Amino acid sequence: MLSKPLSAATYEEALRIFEQALEIDPRSVDAKLGLGTVLGGKVGDGWSSSRQQDLARAERLLFEVLEVDPNNALARQKIGQIFQLQNRYAEAKIELETAIALDGNLVGALRWLAATLTWLGQPEAGIPYLEKAIRCSPRDPGVAYNYRLLAECHLLLGHVDQAIDLLRRARTANPRWWAIPHWLAGALDRRRRPR
């Protein structure tokens, strides 16, 4: 379900399936990880009608996964994402760094750590993680987000031409993503009128 295009309906169907799996086996690590992922995704994509409850439940389920498997890199990544959605950036950074230490090629953890570092005011520190994410998975469905986030890092560092090139790559990778033309217009305007 989660490899289909994301929508409110896709999330609801995935939520139903993981809830059903958890009913069948309340100790299932996979069901808890899946359910935590879906709940966090719903919040992150703006489709949750109960943001705080969904984040709290996702966090609880993911920590239950870590009680059984403390070296589960994906669970660490998802907890980092949950912390980020709660504006707990320092804690998110720790979890995402742990996820990467466990699996250095976990593209989502690389992406989310770069975002966290950028939001902590360290965009330059996020660049190597995004570059590695793109190298690890150049055909990843989220590669447009990697390019967009990399462009954001470069914009914040004053590298406007490089940001424009990256935003054009993001647009090529996902021409339907509505946000890219807005970012690109802003970067082009900044090049035209430097600060």
Complete DSSP assignment for 109-153? HHHHHHHHHHHTT-HHHHHHHHHHHHHH-TT-TTHHHHHHHHHHH
Question: Tell me: the pLDDT tens digits for 176-186?
Answer: 888 999 999 99
The CA dihedral of 23, 27, 30, 36, to the nearest 10 degrees, is 80
> What is the chain's mean pLDDT, rounded?
94
The residue-averaged pLDDT of 17-45 equals 96
**pLDDT tier at 23, thresholds 50, 70, 90:** very high
What the block records as the tokens of 92 is 């998110």
Q: Would the CA dihedral through 125, 79, 89, 9 be positive or negative?
A: positive
- Full-model pTM: 0.91
The whole-number pLDDT of residue 140 equals 86
Percent of the chain past pLDDT 90, that is, above it, reads: 86
Is 19's pLDDT higher than 70? yes
Question: Tell me: the pLDDT tens digits for 47-89?
Answer: 899 999 999 999 999 999 999 999 999 999 999 999 999 999 9
The residue-averaged pLDDT of 94-112 equals 97
The whole-number pLDDT of residue 5 equals 63
The whole-number pLDDT of residue 110 equals 98
